[in-house]
Amino acid sequence: MTFADRRHAGRQLARRLEHYQGKEGVIVLGLPRGGVEVADEIARALGVSLDILIVRKIGFPGNPELAAGAVSETGTVVINEDIVSAYGVGKGYLDSETATKMEEIVRRKQLFRGGRGIPPLAGRTVILVDDGIATGATVKAAIATLREEKLARLIVAMPVASPEAADEISRTVDEWVCLLTPPGFMAVGGYYHDFTQVEDDEVVAILKERVASA
């Protein structure tokens, strides 16, 4: 199974989340940028609120696509200890990269939300969405952030995830919904026909439309 694009994946996921349709207090949070298109389709199908949670991956030295960790907009940092210890990634590098990523988060908060932080989430049911999971560092940082918000329930919904990440993350949330956990997992983009990068202006447009129609 592959997905035509992120919106197709979102519609497929929405079918597995129909039990939340129209329920009060439910909010879908997409991880910018790619997760926002998936999240938008889910929120539309369920008739619930949409927002974002900004998390930035801390890349491995010389290989920015491999996650050494991640940091969220609230300052929560999650380190991929296996990779960091195996390759001897130094604390100085991690601290420097974390500071750089926080600067980018500030820029994105201003761009996407006019500088506002995450919406009030206490007592709400949150459906956290991205376009897929490889190592899981970004999603783990998001989960750690959301656990501080006194949620009623946390659901993580993904089109595709590596079996290792799925096994680990599914045990840390109230509900795990994932369409594909293929053996011999490749990069997330390998499970989409169209995996064109989502640009900032596309995220801004989605959020503006959702706010206007709320």
Q: What is the DSSP string of 99-156?
A: HHHHHHHHHHHHHHHTT--PPP-TT-EEEEE-S-BSS-HHHHHHHHHHGGG--SEEEE
CATH architecture of 6-54+117-213: 3-Layer(aba) Sandwich (3.40)
In DSSP terms, 3 is beta-bridged to: 192
* Summary mean pLDDT of the chain: 92
Which pLDDT does position 183 carry in this prediction? 95
Would you list the domain boundaries of the chain? Answer: 6-54+117-213, 57-112
CATH of 57-112, one of 3.30.1310, 1.10.10, 3.40.1000, 1.10.3470: 3.30.1310
Other beta carbons within 10 angstroms of residue 128's beta carbon come to 24
For 34, 149, 193, the CA distances from 37, given in Å and listed in that order, are: 6, 24, 15
In DSSP terms, 160 is beta-bridged to: 180
Chain position carrying tokens 């079918």: 15
CA–CA distance, 58 with 79 (Å, rounded to integer): 8
Which pLDDT does position 57 carry in this prediction? 86
Which pLDDT does position 79 carry in this prediction? 86
Token representation of residue 45: 């199908």
164-209 per-position pLDDT tens digit: 999 999 999 999 999 999 999 989 999 999 999 999 999 999 998 8
| pTM value surpassing 0.85 | yes
Other beta carbons within 10 angstroms of residue 14's beta carbon come to 21
